Each structure stands twice: as structure tokens, then as C-alpha cells.
Amino acid sequence: MATAATLDNVSAHDAAVDTSRPAYQAFQLLRIAFTIAPLVAGIDKFFHLLVDWDKYLSPFADQMLGGYGHQFMYVVGVVEIIAGIGVFLKPKIFAYIVAIWLALIIVNLLIIGGYLDIALRDLGLLLGAVALGRLSQEYSA
């Protein structure tokens, strides 16, 4: 049996979101950014218009893949495309998947060496993805 307090909480939770709140606006900005960026990067894994993505795969990883690093980057592209779509549809889940993905990228970059600036940038992105995940608890179904 539902109590009055429970009904009040349900009503308040289902009420329309105040889109003028800075936290909601931050949620939407992060959601858009973490939808578009993985989509663009993922699609570009097939075309190499932004950069030669293969250079960011450590020789150790390429060796573990039996020399199929270039083909693996196509898989990376597909994963990134799925992650971007996932963030748009289910940010509560996919924001954390993107954060884990970025952590793996950082580890890979640290193994290569020479890309510490990009690893640092990706750490900032990882923190943004975690912030999106936290905001999603409040603003996402």
C-alpha cells in the first residue's frame, strides 16, 4: 500500500524537469558531446580523415593481435559508434562504458609513450564521462 509520502515522491520525480537549471544544461551538453565525439571518431576509424588512428595502437597491442592492429581499429570504430548511440539513448549506462573505454585508451597511450598530452586530454574526457553518468542519475530515465 502506497503512503502519502511515497506518492509525493513519485509525483515530484515524474514532474517536468526545469531546463533552466545549470545542472540540467550541463547534463545535456555532456550528453551531446559524448554522443557526437565517439560517433565522429568511430566513423573516422574507417576513413582516417582526422588522423592515422593506427599510430595510436601500441606495438604491444598489435603484437597481441597477431599483427592485425589495423583491422582491430575497425572494431574500435564500431565500438565507438555504438558507445555514441548508447550515450544518446541510455546515458546512465553508456557514460560509464565510455569512461572505461577512455581508461583503456589511456593505458594504451601510456604503453606507447610519447602521447602523454593525449593521455592527459583523455583523462579529462574520462572525468567528463563520469560527470555525465552522475548527472544521468538525476536527469535520465
- Nearest alpha carbon to residue 64 among 17, 5, 111: 111
**CB-based contacts of 86, cutoff 8 Å, min separation 6:** 93, 94, 97
Whole-model pTM: value is 0.84
Tell me, what's the pLDDT at 15?
57
Residue 45: which pLDDT band, with cuts at 50, 70 and 90? very high
Residue 1: which pLDDT band, with cuts at 50, 70 and 90? very low
What mean pLDDT comes out for the span 121-136? Answer: 98
pLDDT greater than 60 at residue 35: yes
Tell me, what's the pLDDT at 52?
95
